């Protein structure tokens, strides 16, 4: 299975640091403009506009359903969905694959998607396939499992064991629980799986390098 080699995680400040050598603008000026752009794009999306923000498309949707014209504050919430834009898709298409050799076996999460549905949105209560290596959930340690950490609230939601349909070293198939509402999450897997029938004394934790966006089930 092809494995993408990642060189670490960069935050916005790191990207801005690399931009300072491309022009005469200071780091503070670039950060101010970028933050103003983000704020304006989010405000426009919240006002009901479909915003082409370059890298992503932003769109406001409402979660939940109702049988009347009344809004249920516990069920109906506004979520700003982000979908990869043409620039981001084009960058992936133009990226070359270089075949190399490595003595070390990569361990961790490689991809997250809907099973048999390429580029499909991940929606509430849908099936989710996680691909990787050494990600089988094993061991009696209570820390072991599949977890989603909300990017804003830091709320941690564990996928119940009976929602893990397939549990293999290189892939997991999940049914997302009802408690996992629309939003942006960090995916985390903790397991004592050590290969074959071996269990590690101390579990390993693997985090997916990209945020996972859960969209409302009724998105169109």
pLDDT, tens digit, 9 for 90 and up, residues 4-60: 566 667 788 888 888 877 778 888 898 899 999 999 998 998 898 999 988 888 888
Task: Report yes or no on 142 lying in a domain.
Answer: yes
115, 88: one domain: no
Q: What is the mean pLDDT of residues 80-88?
A: 82
Query: Does some domain include residue 167?
Result: yes
Examine the domain organization and report whether 54 and 127 are in the same domain: no
* Structural element, H or E, at residue 16: helix 12-19
Q: Distance between CA 172 and CA 168 in Å, rounded?
A: 6
- Which of 94, 116, 146 is the last residue before a domain boundary? 94
Q: What is the pLDDT of residues 142-151, one digit of tens each?
A: 999 999 999 8
Would you say residue 57 lies in a domain? Answer: yes
User: Could you tell me if 113 and 210 lie in one domain?
Assistant: yes
CATH number of the domain that 117 lies in?
2.70.50.70
Report the predicted TM-score, pTM, of the whole model to 2 decimal places. 0.59
Q: How many CB atoms lie within 10 A of CB 132?
A: 22
In this structure, are 53 and 126 located in the same domain? Answer: no
* HSE value, Cβ hemisphere, 13 Å, CA-based, for 178: 2
- Domain of 57, in residue numbers: 12-94
Helix (H/G/I), strand (E/B), else coil: 207: strand
Structure tokens at 77: 């919430």
Q: Are residues 79 and 145 both part of a single domain?
A: no
Asked whether residue 83 falls in the same domain as residue 142, the answer is no
- CATH, residue 72: 4.10.520.10
* Number of structural domains in the chain: 2
- Is the same domain home to 127 and 76? no
d(CA 38, CA 10): 18
Closest of 13, 210, 15, 1 to residue 113, by C-alpha:
210
Is 178 within 8 Å of 44 (Cβ atoms)? no
How many Å apart are CA 74 and CA 68, to the nearest integer?
15
Per residue in 104-138, pLDDT (tens digit) is: 567 899 989 998 876 688 999 999 999 999 999 99
Same domain, 116 and 83: no
Do residue 125 and residue 80 come from a single domain? no
């Amino acid at each position: 299975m092809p494995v993408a080699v990642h060189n670490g995680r960069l935050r916005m400040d790191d990207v801005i640091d690399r931009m300072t050598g491309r022009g005469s603008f200071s780091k503070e000026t670039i950060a101010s403009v970028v933050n103003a752009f983000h704020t304006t794009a989010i405000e426009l999306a919240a006002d009901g506009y479909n915003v082409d923000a370059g890298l992503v498309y932003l769109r406001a949707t409402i979660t939940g359903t109702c049988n009347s014209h009344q809004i249920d504050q516990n069920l109906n919430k506004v979520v700003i969905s982000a979908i990869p834009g043409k620039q981001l898709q084009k960058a992936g298409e133009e990226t070359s694959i270089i075949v190399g050799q490595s003595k070390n076996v990569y361990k961790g999460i490689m991809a997250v998607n809907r099973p048999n549905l390429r580029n499909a949105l991940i929606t509430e209560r849908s099936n989710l396939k996680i691909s990787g290596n050494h990600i089988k959930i094993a061991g009696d340690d209570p820390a072991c499992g599949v977890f989603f950490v909300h990017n804003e609230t830091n709320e941690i939601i564990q996928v119940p064991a009976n929602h893990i349909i397939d549990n293999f070293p290189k892939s997991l198939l999940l049914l997302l629980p009802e408690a996992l509402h629309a939003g942006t999450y960090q995916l985390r897997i903790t397991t004592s799986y050590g290969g074959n029938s071996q269990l590690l004394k101390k579990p390993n934790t693997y985090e997916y390098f990209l945020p996972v966006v859960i969209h409302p089930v009724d998105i169109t």
